């Protein structure tokens, strides 16, 4: 099992290029099932989750060409007509986003069998929202031995769908399925994250007829077939937020490049309210060490609210304030598992149900800690960068799922960080 060892209190000075978004790349990859033509994705991060989704797609008849992934962050996906419609447990258990093949498979093959997904243990994230919506398009479902089995013998037909709650994954699954459904589909209460807009842009480039309307509504006119496309994946806004925090809590200056400011207005407003020392460029941002003196109350919400994927990292930042702050987690019910690990390093965080009270801790100290999920793992990295002494982070495979070249990026800016067996 690999570990990351960090010796803290080293100043960070340099430039970090923001990678492509993992959360945008995964549904884009699943969209390759919707056409027999090649789908080329540029700016794809080289991450464990990308390889896992590639393996899932390969098992379904998609040629996952990753020849140019390491050097150029490009992948090419080509779906060939296949009798394969089974996404097996051994692959799907590794990542919840594997459920995104359900809608495309049902649209193309008129049948699918997908294992109940796995991934980070941060919440139930039930798949019934996906299933109920696809059923309105004509899918017939049952659950057998841990597999979601479905078919639509006559093909999918457009319908009016009201999602009972805002769900990113369900929105993506239904949009992809509806592109090949007969007639018009109207979906209300959709998620509007930048990653979903990126998926819509790619599907439109593939020939889909999609109209995004106000008030979380979308109209889709089904077409007979889609064609291939070349698409550039958007930058990872969660990575931007993570490195803004790194720049704010460490000595020196970090310059972050490849930023889409339209995607992070909500984040920047929070950081500005905390007086984080930031200077905008055209698509870059310089961040200097900042005096964290204010307290805030934050609620994680669906976009454009504050993202749950930055909640753990914010706790590190707010622990350095001289007053108490509050974060309420409204998306996932089990997403405070990083708190005991941060407290082992000297944080003073209390949790009461879905609320976390972050008290001033005066600094962090190195310790042996364990990553519990993807975003929790990077919060431990942030705390380690400013901790006195040495920190060893165990179970770092979580980091490899979502942060491309993390050690290299930080080490190039002066961090004392290494990976060991």
Could you give the residue numbers annotated as active site? 120
Dihedral angle over CA of 366, 370, 375, 379, nearest 10? -10
CA separation, residue 132 to residues 45, 129, 163, 404 (Å): 32, 5, 9, 35
Per the structure block, which two tokens stand in for 200? 């819509």
DSSP state of 80: -
Per the structure block, which two tokens stand in for 125? 């994230």
Collapsing DSSP to helix, strand or coil, 213 comes out as: strand
Q: Is the peptide bond before 336 cis (omega within 30 degrees of 0)?
A: no
- Residue 224: count other Cβ atoms within 10 Å of its Cβ: 7
Classify burial at 136, counting beta carbons within 10 Å of its beta carbon; exposed 0-12, middle 13-18, buried 19 or more.
middle
CA distance 368 to 238: 25
CA distance 250 to 242: 13
Per the structure block, which two tokens stand in for 142? 């049952």
Collapsing DSSP to helix, strand or coil, 212 comes out as: strand
How many angstroms from the chain centroid is the CA of residue 131? 22
Backbone φ and ψ of 162, nearest 5°: -115, 105
CA distance 125 to 341: 24
Q: Minimal CA–CA distance to 68: which of 95, 50, 92, 94? A: 50
Residue 351 and residue 322 in contact, taking contact as beta carbons nearer than 8 Å: no
Residue 251 and residue 36 in contact, taking contact as beta carbons nearer than 8 Å: no
CA distance 89 to 118: 9
Per the structure block, which two tokens stand in for 373? 């999920």
User: How many DSSP H helices and E strands does the chain contain?
Assistant: 15, 24
């Amino acid at each position: 099992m690999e570990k990351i060892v960090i010796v803290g209190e080293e100043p960070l000075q340099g430039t970090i290029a923001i990678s492509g978004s993992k959360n945008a790349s995964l549904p884009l990859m699943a969209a390759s099932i919707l056409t027999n033509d090649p789908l080329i994705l540029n700016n794809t991060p080289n991450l464990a989750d990308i390889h896992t989704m590639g393996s899932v797609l390969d098992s379904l008849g998609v040629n996952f060409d990753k020849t140019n992934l390491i050097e150029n962050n490009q992948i090419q996906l080509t779906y060939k007509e296949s009798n394969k419609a089974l996404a097996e447990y051994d692959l799907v258990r590794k990542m919840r986003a594997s459920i995104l093949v359900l809608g495309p498979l049902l649209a193309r093959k008129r049948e699918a069998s997908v294992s109940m997904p796995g991934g980070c243990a941060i919440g139930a994230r039930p798949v019934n929202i996906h299933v109920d919506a696809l059923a309105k398009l004509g899918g017939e479902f049952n659950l057998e031995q841990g597999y979601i089995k479905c078919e639509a013998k006559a093909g999918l037909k457009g319908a009016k769908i009201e999602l009972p709650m805002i769900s990113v994954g369900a929105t993506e699954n239904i949009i992809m399925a509806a592109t090949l459904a007969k007639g018009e589909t109207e979906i209300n209460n959709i998620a509007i994250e930048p990653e979903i807009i990126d998926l819509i842009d790619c599907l439109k480039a593939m020939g889909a007829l999609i109209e995004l309307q106000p008030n979380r509504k979308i109209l889709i006119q089904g077409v007979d077939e889609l064609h291939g496309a070349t698409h550039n994946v958007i930058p990872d806004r969660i990575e931007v937020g993570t490195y803004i925090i790194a720049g704010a809590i460490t000595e020196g200056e970090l310059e972050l490049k490849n930023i889409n400011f339209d995607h992070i207005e909500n984040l920047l407003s929070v950081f500005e309210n905390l007086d984080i020392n930031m200077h905008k460029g055209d698509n870059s941002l310089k961040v200097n060490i900042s005096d964290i003196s204010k307290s805030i109350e934050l609620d994680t919400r669906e976009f454009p609210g504050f993202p749950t994927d930055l909640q753990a990292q914010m706790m590190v930042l707010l622990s350095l304030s001289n007053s108490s702050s509050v974060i309420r987690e409204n998306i996932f019910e089990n997403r405070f598992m990083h708190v005991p690990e941060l407290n082992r390093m000297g944080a003073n965080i209390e949790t009461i149900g879905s609320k976390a009270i972050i008290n001033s801790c005066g600094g962090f100290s190195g310790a042996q800690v364990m990553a519990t999920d993807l975003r929790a793992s990077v919060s431990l990295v942030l705390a380690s960068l400013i901790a006195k002494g040495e920190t060893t982070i165990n179970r770092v495979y979580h980091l490899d799922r979502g942060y491309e070249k993390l050690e290299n990026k930080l080490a190039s800016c002066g961090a004392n960080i290494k990976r060991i067996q």
